[in-house]
Each structure stands twice: as C-alpha cells, then as structure tokens.
Structure 1
Amino acid sequence: MARWTGEWLSGPRPGADAGDPPRWRGERLGLPEQGIGSVAGGGSRLLGLVIDLVVASLLTSLFIRPDLQDTATMQSYNLWSIGVWAVVTVVPASFFGFTPGMFATGIRVARLDGAQMVGVPRAIVRAALTFVIIPAAIRNADGRSWLDRLTGTVVVRMR
C-alpha cells in the first residue's frame, strides 16, 4: 500500500519513533545531506523546468513565427512547443538523466535501483506528470514528488 500511495501514508520508518522525522531530505534513501548526490531543492527543479520551456519555445520559433495577433498561428505554435518540450525533456532524460534545464541548474534524475539510465518509459511518465503540474509540485519529507515516487527516481545535485 505504501508504494502506491506514497511515503506519507506508510507510517513510521522501521526502528524510528512515530514522531521522529528524517534529519535531512534523502536520509531514508541513503543520500548525503548536502553536496553532490544530495536531494535537489524545489527552486532548482523549477528553474530547470522554466529553462526547458524557454528552450522549447526558442526551438519552435525557428520553424513557426509566433504572431500574437493571430489566434490560429499561436494555437499551432503552442501545440508544437508542447511537442518540442516533450522531446527536449524525454530524450535527454532517458539517456543522460538530465534535460537542458536540469544540466544548467546542476541537477539530474537518478534511479533508486542504481541503474545508470532512467529509460524511456520512466522519462515519458515523468514528462506526462510534469505537464499536469500537481504531481510534480507535491513532495514528501525526502523531497521526492509524486512523479519521482511513481517512477522510482529521485532528483539529485550533480555539483
């Protein structure tokens, strides 16, 4: 039950008192308190997303000229931007563990099972849930969002 609903319904950690919170984000996952490999903060994750959105918009602008006065053109532009954002997010995250925005902010996605690559299925689920926003915004005591818990990943610092 705890795996599906998240750690917030799983009760206390084994060997811990019921009111004993973790001392730092990622402690229960065996991650360091700070530095390389520690859980990334929400600010760097949000900034990475904004950078990815800007990159997708700029790439789309190379092929479709945005015209704020023309509704049909802007609808087409926005749809193509979403598609470009999906590619910019899924492909690099699948194979390298980070998007351009994540790279710029010094964070990456890591699998909890220790595998090197996030993989395409996990990256697609992460992108789809990020698009919905709510699952990406709600985090537990370890700093993991719903999309991290669903895909068995955690966002950590690279530097």
Structure 2
Amino acid sequence: MDKREAIGSWLSGPREASEQAGVDFGYRGEQLGLPETGPGSVARPGRRIGALVVDWGMSVLIASQLITQSYDQTTSNWALLVFFVMSVLTVGTIGFTPGKRLFGVRVVELGTGRVNPWRGLLRTVLLCLVVPALVWDRDGRGLHDRISRTVEVRI
C-alpha cells in the first residue's frame, strides 16, 4: 500500500464511514416521489416563508384598513380571520394564496396532485394554530401538511 493511499483514506474516513453505515437521506421529497429540482419539487423554506409574510401582510392591511379603520390590538385578531378565510378559499380551490403564487409555490395533495376544499380547510386550521407549522419532517413538510396529506411544491 502506498503512503498516499493510507493518508487519503484516513483523511476522508468520516465520510466513507457514514456512507458505509447507510446514512444517505436522499433529497427533500424523494420519499414522496417528487423530483429533486425544478417544477414539482418540494418548495424551499425561503419561498414558503416569503409567501407567508406576503399573505400575512395582506391580511393585516385588509384588517386595518377595511375592518377596523385603524391599527390597534384587535387588528391582529381580524387579520388572523382574514388570513384564515383567504387561505381556505384560495388553497382549497386553486391551490395557492396570492403570496404563494408570487413566490411560485403551490399546495398539492399527495395522491391526486391538487387540493380539495376539505383538505384546504384542515390544513388552514392547523396552520393558524402555528405550532403544527413549526414541526417539520426531513422532507421539509410541516405537521399541518403531513396531517392533511399535502405538500408545497414549486410551480
């Protein structure tokens, strides 16, 4: 054995050990049968958070200007209601909210590739509870997506 081979195998040891142990998790969405990149792949967290910020901003704007006529403590409650109604109506029918459309994200059901209104309602209720959305699996899906059997994909 050459000295260079011995040193090279020692330097790259941890990586080879992890490959031998079978620690390859694959890419996000592989277990779901989705492509690794491009349209139909799992949307990255940056796109999803950006879409959420746009949708929440729209909800606050609508609640503060059209409903309460000012910004006070009740505005956030009204904004949550506006967000809820907007999400149920848009995700349950066309698969995306205005923010999701702006960021190129769509919500689809795993089996059919689209979302029916009942799954959209369940997903939105869990999303508005916040905690299920903060628990993610290795595919990047929140608990609200896992329970409603949906996934956010790139358009």
Report the TM-score range of the alignment, normalised by the length of the smaller protein.
0.7 to 0.9
Equivalent AA in structure 1 for residue 125 of structure 2: A
Instruction: From 27, 36, 39, give the equivalent of 1:36.
Output: 39
Q: Structure 2 regions of 5+ residues with no counterpart?
A: 1-19
RMSD: 1.8
Q: How many residues align?
A: 135
- Separation in structure 2 between the aligned mates of residue 20 and residue 154 of structure 1, nearest angstrom: 24
Q: Does structure 1 residue 92 correspond to structure 2 residue 95?
A: no
Structure number with higher relative contact order (C-alpha < 8 Å, ≥ 6 residues apart): 1
- Pair 107,132 (structure 1): closer, same or farther in 2 beyond 3 Å: same
Aligned residue in 1 for 2:67: 63
- Separation in structure 1 between the aligned mates of residue 154 and residue 99 of structure 2, nearest angstrom: 13
Q: Is the 8 A contact 2:80 2:128 kept in 1?
A: no
Equivalent AA in structure 2 for residue 114 of structure 1: T
Q: Does structure 1 residue 121 correspond to structure 2 residue 94?
A: no
- Separation in structure 1 between the aligned mates of residue 112 and residue 23 of structure 2, nearest angstrom: 27
Q: Is the 8 A contact 1:39 1:157 kept in 2?
A: yes
- Tell me the secondary structure at the aligned position of residue 106 of structure 2: strand
- Separation in structure 1 between the aligned mates of residue 49 and residue 119 of structure 2, nearest angstrom: 19
The CA deviation string for residues 40-85 of structure 1, in whole angstroms up to 9 with x for no partner, is: 1111111111111111112221332214xxxxxx233222211111
- Tell me the secondary structure at the aligned position of residue 62 of structure 1: helix
Matches within 5 A, 1:91-110: 91-110=89-108
Structure label with greater radius of gyration: 2
- Separation in structure 1 between the aligned mates of residue 104 and residue 38 of structure 2, nearest angstrom: 11
Aligned residue in 2 for 1:140: 137
Aligned residue in 1 for 2:56: 53
Instruction: From 21, 25, 38, give the equivalent of 1:22.
Output: 25
Equivalent AA in structure 2 for residue 77 of structure 1: T
- Separation in structure 2 between the aligned mates of residue 59 and residue 94 of structure 1, nearest angstrom: 21
Instruction: From 77, 80, 83, give the equivalent of 2:81.
Output: 83
- Pair 18,90 (structure 1): closer, same or farther in 2 beyond 3 Å: farther
